[in-house]
Amino acid sequence: MPSKTQVGILGATGMVGQRFIQLLENHPWFEVAWLAASDRSSGKKYGEAAKWRLDTPLPARVERMTVSPAEPEGATPGSVPRVIFAALDTAIAREMEPRFAEAGCAVISNSSAFRMAADVPLVIPEVNGDHLRLIEEQSWRRRSGGYMVTNPNCSAIGLVLALKPLEERFGLEKIFVTTMQAVSGAGYPGVPSMDILGNVVPYIGSEEEKMEAETLKLLGHLESSPGGHAVAPLAARISASCNRVPVEDGHTESVSIQLGDKLGRPVTREDILNAWAEFHPLAGKNLPSAPRLPVEFAPQDDRPQPRLDRNRGRGMTVTVGRLRPCGLLDWKFTLLSHNTIRGAAGAAILNAEMLASQGTLVPALPEAEAVGTAARA
Ligand SMILES: NC(=O)c1ccc[n+]([C@@H]2O[C@H](COP(=O)([O-])OP(=O)(O)OC[C@H]3O[C@@H](n4cnc5c(N)ncnc54)[C@H](OP(=O)(O)O)[C@@H]3O)[C@@H](O)[C@H]2O)c1
């Protein structure tokens, strides 16, 4: 059996870092070989440094691992893996992620720091895997082989998965979305309990702006010219309103849309249900984290609900329901997606699997180093 690719996790002790550890346990292609977090945690055993919050046991092997400093160069050359999953706060990611890319690592990032950079792919494999070609535009790639790929904000990802099959078949002109977002989306300890219990907070800093901009980039078109690749965002109008609600995991969204006229006739309920049901863009690729159904329709009047539906497809399926005509736009529906699986760690792992299936995940060693390695072998 070929050996697994060794991967590291930056921000390994946080909410998303813990999900990485959970989802990578027994992963058929990847093995966690390095964990890093802040100075508060570095040098400690992971079991002491992290307050494990998930409902599966902390893997014993990981519990005993020592948390490393968040530096791209280890004390021993080669001790930092060349594939890094990053789950850092945005401000820290902005400073730290480029250093890892510069050092020749593939940085598969969850943070918003570089999602909208023109040369950084913002990717959902079922939606816009072709945008991964943007890594060839990155200066790190040319200098060291390292590069950066990002996954979207946890509220944008569910929306875009539900919209992609509709945009493809019918076109999409207007999107009006209101979110009800889980507290785990704010990391740990996140929103104080006194603020959220029995309450709704109608503000999440920068969330609406991220959701609007990222949705249009994800649904945009990769344009290639002799000068390189660039993404032209989808020319649709979008308005997002984001709210924090007292739910542990799972973001719910109410969506109204105005479709385009690609069909040349009004779009029916059957057309929309068929577009969702027939959306299998990764079929046959055998990516271990890809769900059989990226988008699944729940026919019951009172679904989807976070507690009942967030774990569909092992947390990677977006559940849609309540499809009905909209009095202002054309159609409206409700969607639900798991914010720390499909909205974070699971999304990044699927991006890495997509890159691995294309043979581009592990950056090639720069020529001089490769020669040195061969000479030492
Ligand atoms: N939670 C979600 O649903 C979600 C969804 C999508 C994207 N994201 C994004 O993913 C990222 C991580 O979110 P989270 O919810 O996991 O946050 P979190 O629970 O607050 O975890 C933050 C992690 O960053 C580490 N860290 C803090 N300062 C550091 C430093 N100076 N150097 C190195 N590491 C440092 C922390 O280590 P210590 O434990 O040592 O402090 C911890 O491991 C954020 O950018 C967030 O916006 C989150």
Q: What is the pLDDT of residues 50-67, one digit of tens each?
A: 999 999 999 999 999 999
184 within ligand 1 shell (Cβ under 6 A) = yes
Residue 372 clears pLDDT 80, i.e. is over it: no
Per-residue pLDDT, 368 = 52
Residue 337 sits at the vertex; the CA angle it makes with 34 and 196, to the nearest 5 degrees, is 90
Per-residue pLDDT, 365 = 72
Q: How confident is the model at residue 374 (pLDDT cuts 50, 70, 90)?
A: very low
Our measurement of the distance from residue 29's CA atom to the centroid of its chain's CA atoms, rounded to an integer in Å, reads 18
326 is catalytic: no
Active-site annotation holder among 105, 131, 154, 338:
154
Per-residue pLDDT, 135 = 97
37 within ligand 1 shell (Cβ under 6 A) = yes
Distance 90 CA to ligand 1 centre (A): 8
Residue 45 clears pLDDT 60, i.e. is over it: yes
25 within ligand 1 shell (Cβ under 6 A) = no
Q: From the alpha carbon of 42, which atom of ligand 1 is closest? A: 40
Q: From the alpha carbon of 93, which atom of ligand 1 is closest? A: 45
**Closest residue (by CA) to atom 17 of ligand 1?**
187
71 within ligand 1 shell (Cβ under 6 A) = no
Q: How confident is the model at residue 376 (pLDDT cuts 50, 70, 90)?
A: very low
Active-site annotation holder among 27, 131, 229, 251:
251
- What does pLDDT average to over the chain? 95
Q: How far apart are CA 44 and CA 48, in angstroms?
A: 6
Q: pLDDT above 70 covers what percent of the chain? A: 96
20, 40, 54, 88: which to mutate for ligand 1, most atoms within 8 A of CB? 88
Per-residue pLDDT, 143 = 95
339 within ligand 1 shell (Cβ under 6 A) = yes
**Closest residue (by CA) to atom 26 of ligand 1?**
38
Specify the range with the lowest mean pLDDT, choosing from 67-76, 167-176, 258-267. 67-76
**Closest residue (by CA) to atom 14 of ligand 1?**
187
Q: For the chain, what is the largest distance between any 2 Cα atoms, rounded to a whole number of angstroms?
A: 71
Nearest to 108 by CA among 138, 87, 139, 80: 87
**Closest residue (by CA) to atom 20 of ligand 1?**
187
Q: pLDDT above 90 covers what percent of the chain? A: 92
Nearest to 338 by CA among 273, 289, 300: 289
Q: From the alpha carbon of 37, which atom of ligand 1 is closest? A: 34
The count of C-alpha atoms lying within 13 angstroms of the C-alpha of 360, restricted to the half-sphere facing its C-beta, is 19
3-state SS record for 126-138: HHHHHHHHHHHHC
Specify the range with the lowest mean pLDDT, choosing from 188-197, 254-263, 296-305. 188-197
90, 110, 151: which to mutate for ligand 1, most atoms within 8 A of CB? 110
Question: What is the pLDDT averaged over residues 126-148?
Answer: 97
**In Å, what is the CA distance from 174 to each residue of 221, 238, 270?**
17, 6, 20
Question: What is the pLDDT averaged over residues 107-123?
Answer: 98
Distance 278 CA to ligand 1 centre (A): 36
Interacting residues of 264 by C-beta distance below 8 A, sequence separation 6+: none
pLDDT tens digits, residue range 97-111?
999 999 999 999 999
Per-residue pLDDT, 48 = 98
pLDDT tens digits, residue range 139-182?
999 999 999 999 999 999 999 999 999 999 999 999 999 999 99
pLDDT tens digits, residue range 345-359?
999 999 999 999 999
Q: How confident is the model at residue 375 (pLDDT cuts 50, 70, 90)?
A: very low
Interacting residues of 202 by C-beta distance below 8 A, sequence separation 6+: 241, 243
**Closest residue (by CA) to atom 9 of ligand 1?**
111
Q: How confident is the model at residue 2 (pLDDT cuts 50, 70, 90)?
A: low
Residue 80 clears pLDDT 90, i.e. is over it: yes
pLDDT tens digits, residue range 196-205?
999 999 999 9
Q: How far apart are CA 63 and CA 50, in angstroms?
A: 9
251 is catalytic: yes
Q: How far apart are CA 354 and CA 290, in angstroms?
A: 10
Question: What is the pLDDT averaged over residues 124-140?
Answer: 97
Spatial contact of 106 and 28, defined as CB atoms under 8 Å apart: no
Q: Which residues pair with 319 in a beta bridge?
A: 296, 336
**Closest residue (by CA) to atom 40 of ligand 1?**
38
